[in-house]
Structure 1
């Protein structure tokens, strides 16, 4: 996991940075050190658009020594950012439920998502991405939910190795 989306108050917005990232277009990557060196997103609009088009979004951030949580409904926070138990872990988990009133289908292909997340992990050296399919009918041969985790310390070098092994 990365450092976690910052949770401090953005003075110009009067809101925690994580809330700004999830609710304001073009806000991603602006916090702490001038932005990201590499991004798999769409110029800061990705997660805010996902939030706006979802019936529910839950974000969990582990940073600054704590686990922080906040839920959203159709793009708006349902409660203030909550500081939870202490932790030494870092990272961000975003879970979303696409709004069926917006999309004609909310059924996702595990294989398509897994492939895209693997590409993102190759492009962002050291990033860990986990995907678990919690739908009842989507299990492996042992009856466990389909799950993958990608992490490539070598980034593009690992991608070339992967391609050469196929």
Structure 2
């Protein structure tokens, strides 16, 4: 019978293969543009986390002519040492293993915008290609992936005096349909909100598509209070100055 249901009918999707088959479970609808743009924030959130940890105050987002997108920060750079369990670079583990990252033990990041650990590996899975360039300890490292699979191991390609990470990816159009191009205005709006929530963080966007490239930059030293002031620009307010309170509290984990 063609419709026989047996043990052979059961399939197991593991790792990034599951993301490619069911992207909606990880990133949102791949047809209406929501998953497409969510990919951006999964990458950007990692850079924002470097800012929250005190290691970068600048993020650059570039919309490239080939419909790929690049995110550059100037943080510590993704770790490149060999991972003891998997026998590959820690950077490759982060890019190819779900639920891998430095945000679970509270030692690398005291605060974080992205805690689920799926993030960039899920973006890698749904990309035609992804390229990772790391500036760390005076060395530039590079690795390319296609459909989530490493083309070759992480390798050294040069020297550097700065630090940080550059992630470039091109969405796989066999997965994304209907809306397949990044929307500058949508990205700019979200970037503005992110900058407001992270006082002192500069986020610049450059759109190289079209005949005349254009750009936008967001930097709000006042953070949320500056955001409230902006919302109140056309309103009658009770207080001229926005009331703001700042503080920190040590987090205790229940065991």
Q: Offset of 1:30 from its aligned partner? A: 4.7
Q: Structure 1: 5+ residue runs without aligned partners?
A: 138-142
Instruction: Supply the distance in 1 between the matched residues of 2:98 and 2:148 (Cα, whole angstroms).
Output: 11
Q: Which moved more, 1:115-124 or 1:87-96?
A: 115-124
Instruction: Give per-residue Cα distances to partners, 1:46-102, cap 9 Å, x unaligned.
Output: 100000001011111111111111111111111111212211211111111111000
Task: Tell me which of 97, 101, 109 is aligned to 1:24.
Answer: 97
Matched, 1:84 2:157: yes
1:147 alignment partner, one of 193, 215, 236: 215
Q: Identify if the C-alpha distance between structure 1 residues 14 and 125 changes in structure 2 by more than 3 Å, giving closer, same or farther.
A: farther
Distance 1:3 1:150, change over 3 A: farther
Contact 1:2–1:127 (8 Å) recurs in 2: no
2:138–2:159 contact (8 Å) kept in structure 1: yes
Corresponding residue number in structure 2 for 1:133:
207
* 1:67-82 equivalence runs, <5 A: 67-82=140-155
- Report if aligned partners of 1:56, 1:74 keep a CA contact under 8 Å in 2: yes
Tell me if the contact between 1:5 and 1:92 (Cα under 8 Å) persists in the aligned partners: yes
| Residue number in structure 2 paired with 1:96 | 169
Q: 1:31 to 1:73 in 2, by over 3 A?
A: farther
TM-score by length of 2: 0.55
- Residue matched to 2:182: 108
- Cα distance in 2 between the residues matched to 1:134 and 1:62: 24
Q: CA RMSD in A?
A: 2.4
Once residues 84 and 170 of structure 2 are traced to their aligned partners in structure 1, the CA distance between those partners, rounded to angstroms, is 30
Q: Tell me, which stretches of 5 or more residues in structure 2 are unaligned?
A: 1-73, 234-255
Q: 2:223 aligns with which of 158, 161, 166?
A: 158
- Count residues in correspondence: 157
Which structure: larger Rg? 2
The alignment's TM-score, normalised by the length of structure 1, stands at: 0.80
Query: Structure 2 CA distance, aligned partners of 1:17 and 1:126?
Result: 30
- Does the CA-based 8 Å contact 2:133-2:167 persist in structure 1? yes
